[in-house]
A and B are shown apart, each in its own frame.
Chain A
Amino acid sequence: MDIDVKKVAMLSRIRLTEEEAAELGPQLSSIIGYVEQLSKIDTDGVAPTAHPHDAAMPLRANVVTNTNRRDELQACAPKTESGLYVVPKVIE
């Protein structure tokens, strides 16, 4: 299976050089090809596995447990202003 490695890189926001794309394309394709063997298995009558653990989801009470830790949490942000994160302009 051929992978459009440039498209995948774009969707993942990973910048690739032409050389890297040329190298990674066949590698990714061969990984997909390996996994594709699974599609040969007859799964008729087998319920799909939603999760490797046969566990049901635990739920959380609708109770506020977090307090305002803005300063601490924003300490790792490259740039903030008046409590807002500042990012390169994004607009439609």
Chain B
Amino acid sequence: MKKLRESAGFQSVLASVLSILIGLLVGSIVIFIVGCTSKNLSPAVAWDGIRLVFGGLFSTGRDAAGALTWGFNPTNIGNMLFRATPLIMTGLSVAMAYKTGLFNIGAPGQYLIGTLASLMIALGVPSESVPPAIIWLLAFFGGMLAGAIWGAIPGMMKAFLNINEVLACIMTNWIAANLVTWMFDISNFKNVVESTKTGYIYKTTFNNVATPKMGLDKLFPNSQVNGGILIAIVLAIGVYVMMSKTTFGYELKACGSNRHAARYAGIQDKRNIVLSMAIAGALSAAGASLYWLAGNTEFFWSTYQSLPGTGFNGIPVALLAACHPIGVIFTAIFMSMLDIAGLQLTNLTAYNEYITDVIISVIVYLSAFSLVIKMWLSSRKKKTEKTEGGSAK
């Protein structure tokens, strides 16, 4: 037990958990203050709000008397897992690049390019002549391939021209945003049938393409969940194995922590930087594929003014997980749990939906803090060791 407590892994987990708790606490304080100062809210509503932030996942609504009710809510959990799917992938993308010494801020752009390729393939290949399962696979891997190419661009700039990958990624993000808008604008996929809303393209179900449920709909009825979450988890495990067990991962990590030494050892540093970014891009794009190929999601194609939050949220997901691929699964699920809690807060109280964004932001902000907390933990550990050593004498 003591050994576990002192292991570096445990320290990271503890640091992340602490920063999450602090984030929730600060969020609760915000809710409380807003509750006490707003005209249409009261401290009692604030108390409901705080409880929903912590336990929104298990909220089942209000009873006749108007009190909050709690219990197992399969819809909530299913939706949480569905929202976590793309986050796991973008988180993996950032984490994997970070392990190889690269800061992949290009996840949103790669995500968009993945969206473009997957949707184009999923809607463009006629399902009358090609089995939908094949179309799905084509769309999934096509999306990954497009993301890989998109990721490789800043990778090549870094490797061959020594341009900082952060700069190149930001540029390629906006190029992606405009490219995607343009490509859909001139395409035939704009949704003209369901004209209730404008600016959306067809769901992939119009072409009979959708990710199989793999039985998860039985487990979590009335939710959006599908097999994508399982694919994401498998990919996360795959990234973990690749990075920590294979010679390829060893090379990537060597390049990441000391490019010069890697070169000295005969490792092709330039090739590996490009590969790292390409894999990161493919992972991000896979997130997009899994999200849009679900069949029940509609893509708003006019993206030229905004980048998808899912891409950026990969950064806090990765940081909160200390860039551990397996940890990413849990932090991504946690982030989407907050999302669900936010929805419940909006639905069940008079709180404005944006307050949940404030809370999420606080936690995101504190995720960077988890490093500080980790340092504090290890310095505390050293102190205890010293006193223990002293008393032993």
A, B assembled together: no
Residues of chain A touching chain B, judged by Cβ–Cβ distance below 8 Å, are none
